[in-house]
Amino acid sequence: MIAFDAKTNLFHLRGASYSYVMFVNEWGYLQCLHYGGRVGGDNLTYLKQIDFKSFSPTPPDILIEGVSLDLIPSEYASFGQSDFRAPSAVIEQADGARMSRFRYCSHEIEEGAPDWGALPHARAEKGGAQTLSVRLKDAVSGMEIVLHYTVFEHSDVLVRNAEFYNGTNGKLYLNKAFSFCFDLPADDYSLLRLAGRHQLERMPECTPLAHGTIRLSSERGASSHQMNPFMGLLKKDCTEHGGECYGAALCYSGSFALTAEVSQSDTVRVQGGICEEGFRWSLSAGERFVTPQAFLAYSDRGLGGMSRAYADFYRERVISPAFAYKRRPIVVNNWEATYFDFDVEKLNAIVDEGAKIGIDTFVLDDGWFGIRNDPTSGLGDWSVNEEKLKGGLNAVISHCKEKGMQFGLWFEPEMISKNSELFRSHPDWAVGKVSAGYCESRHQLVLDFSRPEIVEAIYKQVSDILSAYDISYVKWDMNRHITEQFSAALPADRQGEFTHRFIMGVYTLADRLTRAFPNVLFEGCSGGGGRFDAGMLYYFPQIWTSDNTDGYDRVKIQYGTSIAYPLSAMSCHVSVCPNHQTKRTVSLKTRGDVASLGATGYELDLSKLRAEEKEEMRLQIKAYRRVSRLILEGDLYRLSDPFHSNYFCVQIVAKDRSEAYVVGEEILTNSDDNLRRIRLQGLDGAADYTVEELGITLKGDTLMRAGCILPHLSDFGTWVWHIRKV
């Protein structure tokens, strides 16, 4: 998978369908020659630039008129030494000097993939991985940088990150430390991002690249609802089903930046990592700093091919192997059913009805701990409120058990209410500076997780609850962003380390809890899908996709999310109508069909529903069990885009192509539906398939080339097709 040719100093990394080729040029810089479709073993050094013309200076170790780092594609860009595009790292020396030149020193090729401890990383357990580590040295400051590249067999995702080592005698500062950088040759690219807001996360948006920089970022201390840590780069010919594109996703849940910069010579520099705004990391002699991993994807099968490459990679290499392909519980969650207003009787009434319709797990959301009857108090006091829950948690858990159900519980470990026992005893544990005042959001403050003793205290509280009760599922929420990025415990020259230290505290807690309770399924959440990223997926196999459960908005949210993440990662619930977020009313069928495209569940008061509604839900749950394997393991094909057409439609195909499941939604009813067709994808062209709902049996080729006629439906009506090889 990784080859090195000592004669040409050329590295060739080969994945399932990509080649990544770079070499050490005559001046000692690591230079990319090709990232794209697979090529043979030719000597690609013929692609290096030879004719330099620009207004760019020459660095002191080259001094050949016209040769400038500004024009050389870089694998990790330096600052202040003739490359005027954005640097990948900015290193500050004791005298304040910040210029650097990263030159090749040595390299190693090893089997396996690096293990970065609690910092989420691609898993090597399944074998089939090789890692190239190229050691560079800054000719000015002496800082060493190791660029790691891991190639996985049968995968189109290449994993990269950078590791810094201060081998000098003095202190050095990192003012920027991105994870990766590559420069693509001039071409016509569009940039795809998944932007949004609370209750409307990951809306795909594509714009052409032009000279200058497009920067996708979050400065919120979390990967955020507003901008997902994913960037797509699409060549002009790229469509959903064909053409070339690249993806860059960060395995990181904190503040990040991803940039695409078109240079004076029209080349495109793509790079990213920890958000550099406010970042400053101090490295004493002998210290190391490891940057988060970036997952780079290449596809020559369109955007759909890229999504499938990411989905396979997350399931095989990121999500815990204990859960990646494990059937997920079908839950009922009491949040929208009761909000904070519940007692044991109300909860048990939901459990009773859940058991009757085939639900596996009851999840008790917010409001069970401390004094918590509204959002103004209680966070940080993780002990059961027995005033509210007479008989304690066991009064609900034992009821679940009697009914053959499991029990799940909500926590928000990173937060503290001013009105809490924890704040009264530790007012200095909140993030920020008392004299500056605190910004509040949902009446809460953030706990300073950059401090290990605070992480330890929360670990103790949460693990005490998980040890004391029979709990199979935890929903881990996070309901505000970080404003005052300051820790009372850090010295002045380390305040720039706060946000990364904070997220490392979150990862440390998640690492300890998931190790201590290996049978508990953790679901991630952040005011819905505000932290839907690869870093979270490493610990939490599924994530609450959005607080918006409306049957129309959800198809857009889930469609956008599916561009970069597997369906199995999306937690999707049916809630009541009119919908609590949008006030829209859509049929129960629509809500159930849309929620079947992920880890499904219900989020409403089952005890208040009519018998016919409960019967319909019972049938939905039965039908979901039939497709749940496909949702966990299958290949996704997006057949119709709800952003640019009147129809949402996706198809999930079994890896062996023996069956498929289609879900579609007609957004607004249309009198000429019967004239419209949808063509299937991913089937075995020569095999016969039955489309159960249409009562037809046809060749895969026919279904893929001639297609099927769309049903005529009312506004927001959905259809499903179960397709099986005969």
Positions touching ligand DGJ (CB under 6 A) are 335, 365-366, 410, 477, 479, 525, 527-528, 544, 547
User: Which residue lies nearer to ligand DGJ by CB, 267 or 419?
Assistant: 419
Picking from 179, 164, 178, the residue whose alpha carbon sits closest to that of residue 287 is: 164
The SS3 assignment for 232 reads strand
Characterize the bridge pairing of strands 189-197 and 227-235.
Answer: antiparallel
Number of Cβ atoms within 10 Å of the Cβ of 391: 11
Q: Which is nearer to ligand DGJ, 116 or 335 (CB)?
A: 335
Nearer to ligand DGJ, 144 or 547 (CB): 547
Strands 647-653, 102-111: pairing kind: unpaired
CB of 84 to ligand DGJ, least distance (A): 44
Give residue number: closest CB to ligand DGJ: 366
Q: Rg for the chain (alpha carbons), in Å?
A: 26
Q: How far is the CB of 410 from ligand DGJ (least distance, A)?
A: 6
Report, in Å, the least distance between residue 642 CB and ligand DGJ: 23
Q: Categorise residue 528: left if φ over 0, alpha if ψ from -120 to 50, beta otherwise.
A: left
Interior CA angle at 76 toward 64 and 303, to 5°?
120
Q: How many CA atoms lie within 13 A of 202 on its CB side?
A: 29
Of 4 and 339, nearer to ligand DGJ (C-beta) is 339
Alpha-carbon distance of 615 to 336, in angstroms, equals: 20
Indicate if 641 belongs to the active site: no
Q: Omega into 578 within 30° of 0, i.e. cis?
A: yes
* Sequence-separated (6 or more) residues with CB below 8 Å from residue 364: 334, 347, 393, 396, 407, 408, 409, 410
Burial 3-27 (b: 16+ CB within 10 A, else e): eeeeeebbbbbbbebbbbbbbbbeb
Q: Least separation, in Å, of the C-beta of 283 and ligand DGJ?
A: 38
Q: Per the residue annotation, which of 477, 533, 593, 605 is the catalytic one?
A: 477
Are 565 and 315 spatial neighbours (Cβ–Cβ below 8 Å)?
no
Per annotation, catalytic residue among 156, 300, 533, 547: 547
Minimum CB–partner distance for residue 377 and ligand DGJ (Å):
13
- Residue closer to ligand DGJ, measured from CB, 101 or 480: 480
DSSP codes joined into one string, 151-167: EETT-SEEEEEEEEE--
The nearest distance, CB 328 to ligand DGJ, in angstroms, is: 17
Question: Is 237 known to be catalytic?
Answer: no
Q: Which of 271, 575 has the CB closer to ligand DGJ?
A: 575
For the record, the structure tokens of 615 come out as 């019967």
3-state percent helix, strand, coil for the chain, nearest multiple of 5: 25, 35, 45
Please give the single-letter amino acid code of residue 330: I
Query: In the complex, what is the shortest distance from the CB of residue 600 to ligand DGJ, in angstroms, rounded to a whole number?
Result: 15
The CA distance from 564 to 248, in Å, is 10
By beta-carbon proximity to ligand DGJ, the closer residue of 168 and 334 is: 334
Active site residues: 477, 547
